Structure 1
Amino acid sequence: MSDPRQALLDAARRMQAAGLNRGTAGNLSLRAGDSAGAGFLITPTGMPYDALVGEDIVHVRMDGSCQGRRQPSSEWRFHRDLYAGRPDVGAILHAHSPFATSLACLRHDIPPFHYMIARFGGDSVRCAAYATFGTQALSDAVLLAITDRRACLLANHGMLVVGDDLQQAFDLGVEFEVLCEQYWRACQLGQPVLLDAAEMSIVLARFAAYGQQP
């Protein structure tokens, strides 16, 4: 079985290559328990991904205690709270990608301008209320915004996506940034025409089996 720390590190570096992050911005985690119980692995705070080795990945238990030689990402709280409240979540990606962050600074939800909004679980992608990074207040806002969704914006901050595993979290992160770019560009030309509730209900039903092969 592959080393989950190395898998997390490899995925974090792919975030850089995909243009989702630059420098030490953003963070990535993977649900992973230990002998003491439930928890997760997460990238450390303030370190460039290219400089990391597997031993730099931090294990955080659900009580907030840490195991490892580094300190966890300052955003460990919303990772912990998402894993605690969403048993469907196996991995979490947070990024300061250019287009998602630009939209987050407007503090607007993303409406159904394109049917691919349904890929993230609803007829819109919500923007979480602003709170200082690394705080419990931000975690509370995130949990509210991402209810019944796989993505949300963080006001004046960035984006967050959740997946069943690392690969899905990464793929959804890339797809969400592309969707944010499309919305940003459409808004430069005028007011996008939105799909109505009836059409989005049809699309959501179709997405229930999206990507599933026999």
Structure 2
Amino acid sequence: MAAKAKADGKTDVPNLQESVVEVHVHDGTKRKAKLPPRPEKGKDVKKVRAALLGTGSASGEKGPEAGLIELPEISVREDISITLPETIVNSIDNMDAEHIVRTMVEFGSKALVLSRHVGSLYRREVKEGGREKVEELQGKVDKLEEEKVALEKAKEGWEAERKRLATWRVRCLDSEEKLNKRIGELEEDYDDLKDKYDGAVDGFFPSRCGRDGLKV
């Protein structure tokens, strides 16, 4: 009997002859479930209530509601709508209660296995998708690095061209300055030669003669 109690209720029953039964409650959430009293074991029931709910429930003092055990609470979402055909609803209503329980347990077991399988598939999909995303981003990074290297080379070429053009401009300005200086020197030489030529012509011809011939 103790083995059956352990298998069905998952409770620790150290000694069935004792009046107080130790009940372990799992998780931190709670819900209420009725503890049916036993007429022939009134004193034992009071001791169980006192052990579970405190001394107030057994002595008559005000305390937690007697006859209740705190169990894990079940949360149900209210935003889920399930629609079933009338034939299925009628078949469920006419089904034996034990068969419904067995079906629910079997369905819950399959759902648990399926949920674990789906969870594994989802984690694997997320992992593989993350790897593909990383590879895609790495490809973009490599492409940007190549473009950066190409821009650096182009920049170096533009810098060399700018320096060359700057040097050519300096050379042009230097040549222009030298050319202007040379033109000035030639103009001075031309003026000197002209003066010398005029002086030589005036000394060679008589005073009454000009360079264009004799004066009449």
Q: Same fold (TM over 0.5)?
A: no
Which has the larger helix fraction? 2
Which has the larger strand fraction? 1
Q: TM-score, normalised by structure 2?
A: 0.21
Report 1 or 2 for greater relative contact order, CA contacts < 8 Å, sequence distance ≥ 6: 1
Q: Greater CA radius of gyration, 1 or 2?
A: 2
Q: TM-score, normalised by structure 1?
A: 0.21
